[in-house]
Amino acid sequence: MTCAGDLLVFSGNASRKLTENICECLGIVPGNAIVDRFSDGEVHIQICEHVRGRDIFLVNSTCPPGNDHLMELLIMIDAVRRASADRITAVIPYFGYARQDRKDKGRVPITAKLVANLITAAGANRVLTVDLHCGQIQGFFDIPLDHLRGDVVFVEEFAKRKYGDDYVVVSPDMGSVARAREFASRLGLPLAIVDKRRPKENQSEVMNIIGEIEGYHTILFDDMVDTAGTLVKAAYALREQGALSVRACATHPVLSGKAVQSINESPIEEILVCNSIELREEAQKSEKFKVLNLAPLIAKAIRNIHDEQSVSSLLTQNI
């Protein structure tokens, strides 16, 4: 068992605020490291603390610009490995490239597997992440991976709110049914499903709704919101078919393109997201967005990993 004094947590540029919150929960200060760029744009890393024989956790979401933040993480791993760290855990609150998890067309890569290989080759001993877009990505790694679920923090949030039997959880597409069903089960609510057809990439067309939503308040539940096309079209469909109100929960606020504008103009009354990705300034100004803090959950996972305790025990939060 590693002693408590051996724990060090460093951050890349994508997760500075989240890392500070994690370290506050752990009762430590973030590790001192320079994460910068040379004049030609190359990533420059220098670890400014003694790490030999220590248990190192490197926190960085691979959110946009994903390539830059992925390179930061890989180079940080290499830096602490060459400095003789005892164990290196890559903490990736948002795992980019997760949607490229299979060959759905001819002559396309499986980029999620490539990223897993890069992290392993760089020298990570294990990975800690939150709400992978596809659960099978866990099998892409040849090192241990701990997969936290964002619905834990959403359940905690709804436990503080008063809601009755007139609420229903809605999966915005067929791919999110399993996670939405688990969330609905934890809240003790029924489940409905939006059946849609996607004519082009990053576009979605709502077809019909499976389940009873007329006269109900609805909660759309997904792992991420990118262009917001899926959530917004689902919200319109729900209201058209008699939903009293529409709220949404999405762990990762990628919010590319005109996503924030689309949400502001949509029937979605409120959208709950997590701080796996720092919220864009445009979204921070919107009254519709509420950010929930992942730091306590990630901090507990880091502490359990460090102390060689169970991480799966953190996944069973219920109301």
- Determine the average pLDDT of the residues in 142-147: 97
Give strand pairing partners of 48.
none
Cβ contact 174:209 at 8 Å: no
**pLDDT number for residue 4:** 46
Give phi and psi for 276, each to the nearest 5. -65, -30
**pLDDT number for residue 207:** 67
**pLDDT number for residue 203:** 61
**pLDDT number for residue 85:** 97
| CA 116/CA 257 separation, integer angstroms | 27
Please determine, for residue 1, whether its predicted confidence score (pLDDT) is greater than 70: no
| CA 165/CA 33 separation, integer angstroms | 50
CB neighbours (10 Å) of residue 3?
A: 10
**pLDDT number for residue 164:** 80
User: Tens digit of pLDDT for each residue in 62-86?
Assistant: 999 999 999 999 999 999 999 999 9
- Determine the average pLDDT of the residues in 102-128: 96
Neighbouring residues of 10: CB distance < 8 A, sequence distance ≥ 6: 19, 30, 31, 33, 47, 56, 57, 58, 59, 76, 80
Please determine, for residue 302, whether its predicted confidence score (pLDDT) is greater than 50: yes
Query: Which long-range CB contacts under 8 A does 34-41 form with residues at least 24 apart?
Result: 35/11, 35/72, 35/76
Please determine, for residue 3, whether its predicted confidence score (pLDDT) is greater than 90: no
Q: Is the dihedral of CA 284, 289, 290, 293 positive or negative?
A: negative
Please determine, for residue 231, whether its predicted confidence score (pLDDT) is greater than 60: yes
Please determine, for residue 205, whether its predicted confidence score (pLDDT) is greater than 50: yes
Residues carrying an active site annotation? 196
- Determine the average pLDDT of the residues in 224-252: 96
**pLDDT number for residue 5:** 57
- Determine the average pLDDT of the residues in 107-124: 97
State the helix-helix crossing angle for 111-122 and 66-82, rounded to 10 degrees.
30
**pLDDT number for residue 319:** 44
